[in-house]
Amino acid sequence: MLHPEPHPAEVLVLTRRFRLPNSASIETYLATQGYEAFRKALTMAPEDIIEEVKKSNLRGRGGAGFPTGLKWSFVPRQSPKPKYIVANADEGEPGTCKDRLLMQYDPHALLEGMLIAARAVGASAGYIYIRGEYRYLIEILDRAIEEARQHGFLGRNILGSGMDFEIYTHSGAGSYECGEETALLESLEGKRGVPRLRPPFPATSGAFGCPTVLNNVETFCAVPPIILHGGLAFANLGTPKNGGTRLFAISGHVNRPGVYELPMGFNLLRMIHEVAGGVRGGRKLKAVIPGGSSCPVLRAEECDLPMDFDSVARAGSMLGSGGVIVMDETTCMVRAAARILRFYAHESCGFCTPCREGTRWLSQILSRFHRGEGRREDIDLIAEIARNMLGRTFCPLGDAAAMPALSYVQKFREEFEAHLEGKPCPYEEVAVHA
Amino acid sequence: MPELIRLTIDGRDVEVEPGTLVIEAARRVGVKIPSFCYYEGLSLAGACRMCLVEVEKMPKLQTACTLVATPGMVVRTETPQVIEARRAMVEFLLTNHPLDCPVCDKGGECELQDMAFRYGAAESRYVETKYHVPEARWSPVVYYDRPRCILCYRCVRVCAEGMGVGALGVINRGGRSEIAPNYGDHLECDECGACIDICPVGALTSGMYRYHTRPWEMNHVGTVCAFCSNGCKTTLGVYHNEIIRGNNRDRSGRNGEFLCIKGRYAADFPHHPDRLRTPLVRRDGELRAASWAEALALVESRLRDALTRGAPIGIIGSNHTTNEENYYLQKLARQGLKTPHLDHQRTGDVAALMAALAGRQGALATMNDLYEARAILVAGADLAQQHPLLSWQIRANWRHHQARVYVVTEGPVREDRYAARSLRVEPGRELEGVLALGEELRKEAELVIVFGDSIQGEAVARLVAFGDSLGIPVKYVCLVDYANSRGASDMGLLPDLGPGYQPVETPGMTLREMLECGDLAVLWVVGANPLAGRSGRPPAFLLVQDLFLTETARVADVVLPAASAYEKEGTVTSVCGEVQRLRRAVSVEGTKTDLEIFGLLARRLGLDAGPRSWEAVLREIAATVPGYDLPVEALIAGAPLQVRPPAGAAMSRRGAIRSARNTLFTSGTLGRYARMLGQVREAPGALYRG
Amino acid sequence: MKFSDETEARLQRLMASCPPGNKRSALVPMLLFIQDEVGAITPEVIQEVCSRLEVSPLEVEEVVSYYSMLRRKPAGRYHLQICTNISCMLVGGAELFEHACRKLGIGHQGVTEDGLFSLEEVECIGACCWGPALQVNYDYYHNVTPEAFDRLIEQLRRNHSGRSEP
Ligand SMILES: Cc1cc2nc3c(=O)[nH]c(=O)nc-3n(C[C@H](O)[C@H](O)[C@H](O)COP(=O)(O)O)c2cc1C
Ligand code: SF4
Ligand code: FES
């Protein structure tokens, strides 16, 4: 999965161990400053750890980009209840496959990040909620946990500090919605992956009704370098308010698809043309989804932009989970939209009205369109259904479906029109697949 | 008193207690925000998204059903954006909803229909294939039609939270989500039908009502349930003189939306084929149809004969007849027939409680106290089986106010699940169990003690003394079984006590003594079945007034067909001492009310037992019966009113007291004639005994 | 039910990971781990899980029917899950799935007559940069062309016939 050599533009912070022999083993980890950040954290006051994370401008890598230090600071200091750390390893957003690499090649970094978080908020146990399909990673993580325990980094009275902490892996069983933080907590508690009403937020009432820090795998993996080298050093790698590097999974029509660690704010076109080796077959770039399938699509001419949360938002899309999906001129945008909406209809938990009914309806119309059975009025109807969902669903999955749907009809209306009145998909013959 | 929160809703100022939801705050000023999933008293869902409103300084529309009012909040509920959002939600809900309103049971009282009307999602833009799932029969009571379901989860929550049963769940996901019963293809539960009535659409329908008629074709008569003593209000749907259903969807009455299977689905007994519609007179050893004149003449002559001979007449009254009937009967007996032999099937020792309380005011717990008291003790009763409304109230109290509940029973009960303490005792040792909890109970701020028949006689006095010793306010509920058990007792259908538990000069025979007495001239049994499970009959002339040919009626000399509670006017008194008005829903040809029958006999015998209209008797009760000095006009107008413990009450020293230990699916003799009760197949109570 | 020592140990570890009073927390992984051994979530499995975790059959049904990896009927010995979601679609995932249907003569969620293969079109499996991707049971195969797919099938057939067990 890894290219033999990192691309010269890459800045290896989280991925620096990936190409070491036995990178997942604790020996390799310890030989490369592993658990030193945690040792350092043990000497720090909990508030100072949080302060350092705040300084790093680390923003959640799960999709929403919420400042991590701030999130940790919401956990009540004093609590009669135990506190928990939960790592979101559900990685379900289409176009995203970065957490998988982190866990495969550097599982101890995740454990160390969770340990530091535990130290910062006073948690007693951690769960890695990992999608059921990643079974082999559970084996890798369980092994790492065992190693860490044997080396005294987990268990009771860790390194003589008086801190007790355990980490457990916990498998999902096939549900994208379980990546949503409160649905994840429900699943962790043995229930359907239906999100919870907020407030209360997980920081005060999360896993088992106890204060909980929940972060993405990559977010946790960024913590050890932050503690080790200081928040500022990490912040300075990125752009203002967007600290550090980020793992971008570049997929689709590029010559060198893969996961690349690049500084926040790295230019999207450079990412495609330089880092990922350009569009396949020398064809023209048509569109890019910048952060996983739930992000509004960008037309090629909109892609000259820095990849950080704020810049992509200004461009009308989202940095999301960093899954950059590249589409060349042979791509049928109706087909792309139909496939994406089929996914969201399949994954809607069904709890709330607009998402349950809206995703199904959109998916049905788009598939019909792609079959050549579209009606002119359907084009506006798609946009209207999407608008009727936006901001009105119980959790963000509804938005995650509505935003792309709206963007495809807005930005590629002419392609929808080309499918009208029984016309076959104009791309069907030209499409060439690798 | 916490400080009130001031906010503005549609330009109107509102003041509410902290914690109030915007949807409730809006209701206070008459702004009705539409909602499907929100249901007062149940946990919040926020699923249907109908209640979206605009709130100043909040970028997105907010769900009023989950939003807590904060000071200075400015809410707008009817802006173009809001109206558009609601229209869109209705459109979403209708995409997969079949448009079979013309044949749907809920047509006319469907909340989705109302919303479609209000927000005009008339023309459908949905041209895709609908997701179809065939309708399912989950039990004789409950049917489920998935395509009609709008997934508001009210049913799931009312079952889990309100009923404490949890027989419904949600399966599959996304557009294929559906509600599912606890046994895969069928339901085993209390069969209360709460899920059906709480369903805003026609997804859940009842085996009793479905496809019978349309809501607007019925007359709706609000009366009191004829079965147990809890006094639930039920609104009977009457079509062509037939009761099609019972419900309390308007949440009126003390029971809110609660009703058990009996209140909702057992109201078909008036039309049971076995219903007596003509008097019967024994001729040549056989009971044969006779005219009212014939039958009454025969009774008259036997009573006259006994009166002239001075031979004893025994009277066994009913747990089902009205206060007016009971009062009139005891007066006719004591003053007209001059007989002291009067009793009824006693199921709880109310008299002992009244005697122990000695007129103390505020010591009888009301139905509302069960919902609000900080602590409740249940001794010797399985409330979920025998007193389902009490069980519901206590559960709601625990859910909403974290009431502390104590249980002292022989076996497991539903209250165990959330009780602060459950004590198992051998039958008969309930009082000892209660006394053992003294130290814990003393720490409570107040207490309601609910006790069954195992605490009777002197034990009741000890219980009250124990209550006094706790040093906290204590109120009591003495459990009795049937719709007017309490009224029978209060009106003095007792061998040694008259109305208001006032001792009579010469005590008469108890029920059992009458049955065993060798020289009664006449035994008159009104709405009771004392010979069930007994062999033989007393040698007296046996007159029975009843709805059916019961075991007792079968061996009678004359049987008079009586009208049931659903066929008459009058009042009944609930287990908590609330007097409520019955209203006639139907009439069954050939029958007469018990009051009419008493009156006819009195007139024939030339006895004067006072006026004979129910209102007049009620006025007399209010004027003369201790504890019942209530504003009669209010009662007649339909207001439930609480009776008070009478001063000068005495204990009954004669006769047996025993609860019939009905279950959710039985109710003495009457229960046998309700079709639905006989059809449910699960074991009552199995759900929490398992 | 009796499980292999390995599965039983896994279940024990799982249950030990639940905070006290939260047995139910083990439900989702437990179902998956048991399915891995038994092949499907059968009524007996549900009963077993109910008694281990003190949950009701309805609570288990709610969960089983929610998660897409849990199934009521056994899959083939080799369960082929082909991703056709957007990233894989762009590089031929849907065509690969159609090819697989033709090759095996079965459709989505079908099982070959010999019970050797089953096929499922799945949503994103986290292999977006290496598509078209598929999983055989839990093993990933990346950049799968139709030819590579055919070779894989032959390989799996050979593996199987080389085995002694049924
Ligand atoms: C439908 C949906 C799916 C999500 N899936 C994931 C996921 O697979 N992995 C993840 O880390 N976050 C996912 N998220 C985001 C989480 O809800 C949450 O914001 C995140 O895990 C928090 O961690 P972070 O602050 O480190 O990003 C998802 C959110 C939604 C609404
Ligand atoms: S938006 Fe609604 S239906 Fe969709 S996943 Fe969230 S809660 Fe479930
Ligand atoms: S009533 Fe508010 S979301 Fe349903």
Domain ranges of chain A: 26-235, 245-328, 333-431
CA distance C114 to chain A (A): 25
Cβ neighbors of B688 (< 8 A, separation 6 or more) are: B164, B384, B412, B413, B414, B416, B417
Give the residue-averaged pLDDT of B593-621.
94
Of the partner residues B168, B172, B182, the one whose CB lies closest to the CB of residue C65: B172
Measured CA distances, A310 to A248, A322, A325, B584, B634 (Å): 16, 13, 19, 71, 68
* pLDDT for residue A431: 44
Residue B274 has a CB neighbour count (10 Å cut-off) of 10
Question: Which single residue is written with the structure tokens 């409950």?
Answer: B142
Size (chain A), residues: 434
Q: Which domain holds residue C53?
A: 5-66
- Distance CA(B613)–CA(B649), nearest Å, equals 28
First to last CA, chain A: 17
Residue type for position B568 = K
- Distance, in Å, from the CA atom of A67 to the CA atom of A45, rounded to the nearest integer, reads 20
Residues 167-196 of A with CB under 8 A from C: 168, 170-176, 187-193
Contacts of A359 in chain B (CB under 8 A): 174-175
Q: Say yes or no for a CB contact (<8 Å) between A192 and B46.
A: no
What's the rounded Cα separation, in Å, for the pair B149 and B135?
Answer: 11
B91–A contact, CB cutoff 8 A? yes
- All partners of chain A with 3 or more CB pairs under 8 angstroms: B, C
Residue C92 counted as domain residue: yes
State pLDDT tens for residues C76-106: 999 999 999 999 999 999 999 999 999 999 9
Topology of domain B5-93 in CATH is Ubiquitin-like (UB roll) (3.10.20)
Choose the closest CB to A356 out of B52, B59, B177.
B177
The verdict on domain B350-479 having CATH code 3.40.228.10 is: yes
Closest approach of chain A CAs to the CA of B72, in angstroms?
A: 20
Q: Which helix (H) or strand (E) holds A365?
A: helix A353-368
Is pLDDT at B164 greater than 60 in this prediction? yes
Q: Are residues C149 and C90 in the same domain?
A: yes
> Which residues on neighbouring strands pair with residue B266, listed in sequence order?
none
Other beta carbons less than 10 A from residue B686's beta carbon = 10
Task: Give the model's confidence band at B1: pLDDT under 50 very low, under 70 low, under 90 confident, else very high.
Answer: low
Q: Which two tokens stand for residue B219?
A: 């007359």
Model confidence pLDDT, tens digit, residues B664-680: 999 999 999 999 999 99
B237 φ, ψ (degrees, to nearest 5) = -95, 115
Q: C160 pLDDT exceeds 90?
A: no
| CATH class (in words) of the domain with range A245-328 | alpha beta
Q: Are B248 and B255 in contact (CB under 8 A)?
A: yes
Distances (CA, A) of B535 to A105, B531, B551, B553, B555: 86, 7, 10, 13, 11
Q: B332 Cβ partners below 8 Å, 6+ apart?
A: B598, B601, B602, B607, B609
pLDDT in tens, B459-496: 999 999 999 999 999 999 999 999 999 999 999 999 99
In the numeric block, the tokens 């024939």 are attached to B604
Residue C162 has pLDDT above 80, yes or no: no
Give the amino acid at B529. Answer: N
How far is the centre of ligand 3, averaged over its atoms, from the C-alpha of A402 (Å)? 20
Probe residue for ligand 3, chosen from B51, B93, B154 as the CB with the greatest number of ligand atoms within 8 Å: B51
CATH number for the segment(s) B280-344+495-645+652-658? 3.40.50.740
**Which H or E run includes A118?**
helix A107-121
Question: Does one domain contain both C50 and C118?
Answer: no
Atom of ligand 3 nearest to the CA of B47: 3
- pLDDT-derived band at B610 (thresholds 50, 70, 90) equals confident
Question: Which residue, among C62, C63, C70, would best test binding to B if mutated, counting the most B CBs under 10 Å from its CB?
Answer: C62
Contact A132 C95 (CB under 8 A): no
Nearby residues of B45 by Cβ (< 8 Å), 6 or more positions away: A197, B37, B38, B65, B152, B153, B157
**Subunits touching B (CB < 8 Å, at least 3 pairs)?**
A, C
B93-118 confidence digits (pLDDT tens): 999 999 888 888 898 889 999 998 88
Query: Ligand 2: which residue has its CA nearest to atom 6?
Result: A395
Q: Report chain C residues whose CB lies below 8 A from the CB of A173.
A: 28-29, 31-32, 67-70
Find tokens 């479609």 and name the residue: B116
Buried b (16+ CB within 10 A) or exposed e, B275-290: bbebbbbbeeeebeeb
Mean pLDDT of chain B: 95
Considering only CB atoms, C61 lies closest to which of B166, B171, B173, namely B171
State which of C17, C38, C66 marks the end of a domain.
C66
| CA–CA separation, A421 and A418 (whole Å) | 9
pLDDT in tens, B352-363: 999 999 999 999
| Domain positions in chain B | 5-93, 103-111+126-271, 280-344+495-645+652-658, 350-479
Is the pLDDT assigned to residue C124 strictly greater than 80?
yes
Q: What is the percentage of chain B residues whose pLDDT exceeds 90?
A: 91
Ligand 1 centroid from CA A67, angstroms:
13
Contact at 8 Å (CB) between C85 and A343? Answer: yes
Residue that has been written with the tokens 């006769």 in this structure: B655
Class of domain A26-235 as given by CATH: alpha beta
**A72-96 b/e (C-beta count within 10 Å ≥ 16 → b):** bbebeeeeeebbbbbbbbbbbbbbb
List of long-range contacts for B54-58, beta carbons under 8 Å, 24+ apart: B54/B79, B54/B81, B54/B82, B55/B22
Residues of chain C contacting B167 with CB distance shorter than 8 Å: 58
Distance CA A204, CA A206 (A): 6
Q: Residue B186: beta bridge partners? A: B183
**In this structure, which amino acid lies at residue C46?**
I
CB contact at 8 A, C117 and C105: no
pLDDT score of B211 more than 80: no
Are both C95 and C131 inside the same structural domain?
A: yes
Which residues of chain A are within 8 Å of residue C24 when distances are taken between CB atoms? 189-191
How far, in Å, is the centroid of ligand 3 from the Cα of B67?
Answer: 10
Residue C73 counted as domain residue: no
Binary contact (A361, B49; C-beta < 8 A) = no
Residue B580, CA distances (Å) to B234, B367, B482 in order: 12, 13, 14
Task: Answer yes or no: same fold for A26-235 and A333-431.
Answer: no
Residue C98 in any domain: the answer is yes
Helix (H, G, I), strand (E, B) or coil at B272: coil
Longest dimension (CA), chain B: 91
Inter-chain contact B173–A359, Cβ cutoff 8 Å? Answer: no
Give per-residue burial for B3-40: e unless 16+ CB within 10 Å, then b.
eebebbbbeeebebeeebbbbbbbbeeebebbbbbbbe
Give residue-wise pLDDT tens across range B410-454.
999 999 999 999 999 999 999 999 999 999 999 999 999 999 999
CB neighbour list of residue A150: distance below 8 Å, 6 or more residues apart: none
Q: Is the peptide bond prior to A199 cis by the omega test (within 30 degrees of 0)?
A: yes
Q: What's the CATH code of the domain at C83? A: 3.40.30.10
How many CB atoms neighbour CB C109 within 10 A?
Answer: 12
- C66 touching A (Cβ < 8 Å): yes
B275, B448, B441: which is closest to B368 by C-alpha? B448
List, for residues B290-334, the tens digit of each pLDDT value: 999 999 999 999 999 999 999 999 999 999 999 999 999 999 999
pLDDT at A430: 46
Q: Please calculate the CA angle B190-B193-B196 and round it to the nearest 5 degrees.
A: 145
Three-state DSSP at B378 gives strand
Predicted local distance difference test score (pLDDT) of residue B690: 56
Ligand minimally distant from the alpha carbon of residue A321 = 1
Looking at the structure, do residues C94 and C155 belong to the same domain, yes or no? yes
**How many Å apart are CA B601 and CA B341, to the nearest integer?**
18
Question: Within chain A, how many helices (H) and strands (E) appear?
Answer: 17, 11
Q: CA–CA separation, A2 vs A257, rounded Å? A: 10
**Spatial separation of the C-alpha atoms in residues B511 and B326, rounded to whole Å:** 16
Rounded mean pLDDT of B606-610? Answer: 86
Instruction: Pick the closest to residue B193 from B135, B245, B270, B133 (CA basis).
Output: B245
Q: How far is the CA of B277 from the centre of ligand 3 (A)?
A: 51
Q: Whose CA is nearest to atom 2 of ligand 2?
A: A352
CA dihedral C47→C48→C53→C56, nearest 10 degrees, is: 0
Confirm if A42 and A124 have CB atoms less than 8 A apart: no
Q: Which residues contact C85 (CB under 8 A, 6 or more apart)?
A: A94, A293, A339, A343, C93, C123, C124, C128
Q: Concatenate the DSSP letters of all residues of B595-633 into one string.
A: HHHHHHHHHHHT------SHHHHHHHHHHHSTT----HH
Give me the CATH code for the B103-111+126-271 domain, please: 3.30.70.20
**Same domain, yes or no: C82 and C62:** no
Chain A CB contacts of B95 under 8 Å are 357, 360-361
Under DSSP, is residue B284 helix (H, G, I), strand (E, B) or coil? coil
Chain segment B502-514, per-residue pLDDT in tens: 999 999 999 999 9
Please give the backbone phi and psi of residue B136, each rounded to the nearest 5 degrees, phi first. Answer: -125, 140
Enumerate residues 6+ apart whose C-beta is below 8 A from C10: C33
Beta-carbon pairs below 8 A across chains B and C: 27
Kindly list the residues from chain A whose CB atom is less than 8 angstroms away from the CB atom of residue B174: 345-350, 356, 359-360
In a domain, C89, yes or no: yes
Look at A97 and C127 and tell me if their CB atoms are within 8 Å. Answer: yes
- Tell me the three-class secondary structure of chain C, residue by residue: CCCCHHHHHHHHHHHHCCCCCCHHHHHHHHHHHHHHHHCCCCHHHHHHHHHHHCCCHHHHHHHHCCCCCCCCCCCCCEEEEEECCHHHHHCCHHHHHHHHHHHHCCCCCCECCCCCEEEEEECCCCCHHHCCCEEECCEEECCCCHHHHHHHHHHHHHHHHCCCCC
* Class of CATH domain A333-431: mainly alpha
b/e for B637-648, b at 16 or more Cβ within 10 A?
eeebbbbbbbbe
**Tens digit of pLDDT per residue, chain A (434 long)?**
999 999 999 999 999 999 999 999 999 999 999 999 999 999 999 999 999 999 999 999 999 999 999 999 999 999 999 999 999 999 999 999 999 999 999 999 999 999 999 999 999 999 999 999 999 999 999 999 999 999 999 999 999 999 999 999 999 999 999 999 999 999 999 999 999 999 999 999 999 999 999 999 999 999 999 999 999 999 999 999 999 999 999 999 999 999 999 999 999 999 999 999 999 999 999 999 999 999 999 999 999 999 999 999 999 999 999 999 999 999 999 999 999 999 999 999 999 999 999 999 999 999 999 888 899 999 999 999 999 999 999 999 999 999 999 999 999 999 999 888 777 788 875 444 33
Of the listed ligands, the closest to the CA of B52 is: 3
Decide if B686 touches C, using CB distance below 8 A.
Answer: no
